[in-house]
């Protein structure tokens, strides 16, 4: 055996990539070569909108709104690596990421096929804004494969789904949709905010573009608004062009905070998944709770799909209290550790009532039909000690 040979190269894991970015993938990444003494360990915040420009050429122009300043590029590289994408882009918000992606993929006269189970803001974008640009949208029950096929038109260009679904935690099987999209030459776009790249990487399952509200798990600390898009370099460049003219680029400080948040993504999401599993199992044993929705429970309608396709069941769960809206209000008021607030994916556990947030515009009957009857509460499980979360829920139920 030749003991002088170099050790076999090891592909860095998600956490290593999230902490170090592309640096660890390079052969010259040793401290001596790449990090001379005195260099900061943390990516410096370059809070500058303008950068000196080379003479006599338009190349090399850097400007914050173009998405090519140092702190944006540093996050984009990490995200592309985590999603297994050629390229990624950070935007000012999740909605900005979805809007710019749609503007890049669709033209007047085109048709978009969308899952009916999507975040309320995205639904508004598709029903109120895209039609004004001459784009027609058809919503499909995502579990009905035949309906997807039947709804395809000659003008269909893209398919949009969200999984796991906000707020019901339903998990979609992308595989048949990916087959259909590739057969018909449609772009399959997946909002993977709830899973984060730790638990699911849609591009590995045949998606073309993945979108995140980076406000949620990617940042994870309730202090940054951001969005992200990842996919083929040519598509991401088109999305970037839309981001530039629609003014959807993030500020360098938001990118810097996002990079700091992403360093702990793996440990946070694993802990949140463990906590959510324990809390969901405990909730299932309680008579005051009529229904518990968590993909890690065998009782979840998509447990098998979740087990087959996700690397972890995630930190999002929902409960439906016996006693409807009144019981939910009493419960939420009594919570001490879990905070009543919108949004999700951060280190603090949060609870929200869709009847006052994403589903406020629907009637009671419509909400019930959408799977979120009054009494339904979405819980974004944080990284606290799970015993304290269980005790908090127990005292609030008492
Ligand atoms: C699944 C999902 N996608 C997109 C968004 C929009 O993200 P943002 O609030 O960062 O614009 C949200 C926000 O709640 C969401 O839950």
Across 5-19, 57-71, 288-302, least confident range = 5-19
Residue 294 — very low, low, confident or very high, per pLDDT cuts 50/70/90?
Answer: very high
Instruction: Point out the domain boundary residue: 263, 286, 321.
Output: 263
3, part of any domain: no
Active site (annotated) includes residue 217: no
- Average pLDDT value over all residues in the chain: 94
Same domain, 329 and 191: no
Active site (annotated) includes residue 216: yes
Catalytic choice (191, 251, 266, 374): 191
Is 114 a residue whose pLDDT tops 50? Answer: yes
Spatial CA neighbour of 242 closest among 88, 104, 67, 63: 104
16, part of any domain: no
| pLDDT tens digits, 14-40 | 999 999 998 877 766 666 666 778 889
Q: What is the mean pLDDT of residues 390-398?
A: 97
381, part of any domain: yes
Same domain, 156 and 76: yes
Predicted pLDDT of residue 252: 98
Q: Whose Cα sits closest to atom 15 in ligand 1?
A: 119
**Percent of the chain, pLDDT > 90?**
88
Same domain, 187 and 279: no
| pLDDT tens digits, 198-208 | 999 999 999 99
Active site (annotated) includes residue 240: no
Same domain, 232 and 291: no
Is 218 a residue whose pLDDT tops 70? Answer: yes
- Count of structural domains within the chain: 2
**Which CATH number fits the domain that encloses residue 378?**
3.90.1150.10
Predicted pLDDT of residue 33: 64
Q: Could you tell me the residue range of the domain that residue 373 belongs to?
A: 265-397
Spatial CA neighbour of 161 closest among 190, 187, 183: 190
- SS3 of residue 50 by DSSP: strand
Distance 341 CA to ligand 1 centre (A): 14
C-beta atoms surrounding 330 within 10 Å: 13
Catalytic choice (201, 216, 271, 355): 216
161, part of any domain: yes
Spatial CA neighbour of 120 closest among 381, 362, 379, 292: 362
Predicted pLDDT of residue 2: 47
349, part of any domain: yes
Instruction: Point out the domain boundary residue: 214, 247, 263.
Output: 263
Q: What is the mean pLDDT of residues 334-360?
A: 94
Query: Cα–chain-centroid distance for residue 63?
Result: 26
Predicted pLDDT of residue 107: 98
Predicted pLDDT of residue 3: 46
Active site (annotated) includes residue 388: no
Please tell me if the CB atom of residue 162 comes closer than 6 angstroms to any atom of ligand 1.
Answer: yes
């Amino acid at each position: 055996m030749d003991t002088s040979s170099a050790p076999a190269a090891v592909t860095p894991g998600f956490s290593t990539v999230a902490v170090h970015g592309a640096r660890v993938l390079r052969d010259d990444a040793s401290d001596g070569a790449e990090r001379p003494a005195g260099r900061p360990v943390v990516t410096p915040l370059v809070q500058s909108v303008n950068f000196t420009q080379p003479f006599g050429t338009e190349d090399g122009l850097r400007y914050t709104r173009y998405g090519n300043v140092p702190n944006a590029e540093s996050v984009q590289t990490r995200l592309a690596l985590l999603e297994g994408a050629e390229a990624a882009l950070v935007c000012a918000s999740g909605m900005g990421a979805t809007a710019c992606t749609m503007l890049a993929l669709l033209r007047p006269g085109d048709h978009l096929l969308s899952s009916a189970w999507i975040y309320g803001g995205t639904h508004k974008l598709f029903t109120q804004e895209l039609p004004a640009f001459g784009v027609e949208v058809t919503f499909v029950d995502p579990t009905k494969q035949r309906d997807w096929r039947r709804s395809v038109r000659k003008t269909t260009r893209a398919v949009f789904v969200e999984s796991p679904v906000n707020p019901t935690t339903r998990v979609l099987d992308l595989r048949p949709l990916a087959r259909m999209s590739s057969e018909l030459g449609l772009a399959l776009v997946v909002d993977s905010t709830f899973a984060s790249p730790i638990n699911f990487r849609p591009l590995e399952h045949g998606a073309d573009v993945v979108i995140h509200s980076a406000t949620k798990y990617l940042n994870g600390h309730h202090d940054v608004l951001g969005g992200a898009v990842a996919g083929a370099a040519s598509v991401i460049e088109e999305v970037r062009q839309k981001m530039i003219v629609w003014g959807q680029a993030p500020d360098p400080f938001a990118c810097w905070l996002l990079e700091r948040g992403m360093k702990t993504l793996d440990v946070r999401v694993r802990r949140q998944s463990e906590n959510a599993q324990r809390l969901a199992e405990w909730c299932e044993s309680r008579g005051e709770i009529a229904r518990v929705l968590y993909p890690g429970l065998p009782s979840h309608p998509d447990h098998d799909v979740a087990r087959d396709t996700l690397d972890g069941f995630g930190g999002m769960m929902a409960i439906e209290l016996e006693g409807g809206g009144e019981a939910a209000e009493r419960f939420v008021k009594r919570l001490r550790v879990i905070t009543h607030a919108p949004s999700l994916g951060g280190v603090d556990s949060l609870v929200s009532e869709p009847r006052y947030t994403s589903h406020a515009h629907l009637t009671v009957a419509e909400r019930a039909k959408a799977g979120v009857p009054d009494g339904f509460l979405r819980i974004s499980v944080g990284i606290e000690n799970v015993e304290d979360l269980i005790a908090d829920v127990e005292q609030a139920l008492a």
